[in-house]
Structure 1
């Protein structure tokens, strides 16, 4: 092993707004003080309940991905396990997400900055 994952960073126009979106979607605390980085208007974080961290950085010329257009690749996406896919989709859309497609039981949505993410039914058991 060379190292450990510190966080996942998503580029966007408005870091604080996207952090609020993901905190509402996944739970967690926005911009909790952390010695690993400095918080400012071009950087925001969400410390998730399970200890993982999502970070958001401002990119002035940010071009959002367009699902599923390879000319505007998705850059990265998050898979989110959900117990009730329909309720999760409704809640995500109410937060500002947009449904893009449904594929093999999963729903592909985009966050307010255009990043795709998938709501994946959590297997029973």
Structure 2
């Protein structure tokens, strides 16, 4: 029997509203803020949430880095890798690994530097 269930994944970042807006364009959903916007929720169309927390001293993870850690990454499933890549790059993502275009995933960083993969379904 499980002790808990996963609630919300929270990303530290310098600008929660901006990063929530980036992921709203990528995943859909509604950006919800309260007060000073130190914490911003993205309510996804399926009811799940992704949250963003202000971290003024945020240092983006390095990927890949033999002397550091990527900390975590998101795998985002898409139907067309080429089309999805064009869209995330236009929204401000950057390519982290472009070596092997023949495999079923590609690695990027969001505007705050968190790694994520677009994965073909």
> Normalized against structure 2, the TM-score is what?
0.90
Provide, for residues 29-72 of structure 1, a one-character-per-residue CA deviation record: whole Å limited to 9, x for no partner: 0017xxxxx55321111000111100000112110012111434
Name the counterpart of 1:110.
109
Aligned residue pairs, count? 117
Question: Does the residue aligned with 1:41 lie in a helix, a strand or coil?
Answer: coil
Q: 1:39 to 1:25 in 2, by over 3 A?
A: farther
Name the counterpart of 1:76.
72
In the alignment, is residue 22 of structure 1 matched against residue 26 of structure 2?
no
Contact residue 44 and residue 55 of structure 1 kept, 8 A: yes
Superposed CA RMSD: 1.5
Q: 1:100 to 1:85 in 2, by over 3 A?
A: same
Tell me whether 67-76 or 57-66 shows the greater mean CA deviation.
Answer: 67-76
CA distance in 2, matches of 1:121, 1:39: 38
CA distance in 2, matches of 1:70, 1:14: 28
Gap regions ≥5 residues in structure 2: none
Name the counterpart of 1:58.
54
Name the counterpart of 1:2.
3
CA distance in 2, matches of 1:5, 1:96: 28
> Normalized against structure 1, the TM-score is what?
0.87
Provide, for residues 3-46 of structure 1, a one-character-per-residue CA deviation record: whole Å limited to 9, x for no partner: 121100001000000000000000000017xxxxx553211110
Name the counterpart of 1:35.
none
Gap regions ≥5 residues in structure 1: 33-37
CA distance in 2, matches of 1:39, 1:8: 20
Tell me which stretches of 4 or more aligned residues in structure 1 moved more than 3 Å.
none
